[in-house]
Amino acid sequence: MNSTPAPQLAFIGLAVSDMAASIAFYRRLGLAFPEGSEHAPHVEVELPGGLLLVLDTEATIRSFHPAWHPPTGGSRTALAFRCQSPAHVDAVYEELVGAGHHGELKPWDAFWGQRYAVVHDPDGNGVDLLAPLA
**The model's pTM:** 0.85
Q: Which CATH class is domain 10-68?
A: alpha beta
What pLDDT is stored for residue 87 in this prediction?
96
Could you give the CA distance from residue 47 to residue 39 in angstroms, rounded to a whole number? Answer: 21
Residue 57 three-state SS = strand
Domain formed by 78-134, architecture = Roll (3.10)
Q: How far is CA 66 from the centre of its chain?
A: 25
User: Could you read off the pLDDT tens digit of each residue along the chain, which spans 134 residues?
Assistant: 667 787 688 899 999 999 999 999 999 999 999 999 999 999 999 998 889 999 999 888 888 788 878 777 766 778 999 999 999 999 999 999 999 999 999 999 999 999 999 999 999 999 999 999 98
Q: Confirm if 25 and 122 have CB atoms less than 8 A apart.
A: yes
Which is nearest to 120 in space by CA: 132, 112, 129?
129
Same fold, 10-68 and 78-134: yes
Q: Which residues neighbour 29 within 8 Å (Cβ) at sequence distance 6 or greater? A: 81, 92, 127
pLDDT score of 21? 97
pLDDT of residue 56: 92
Domain boundaries, the chain: 10-68, 78-134
Query: What's residue 2's pLDDT?
Result: 67
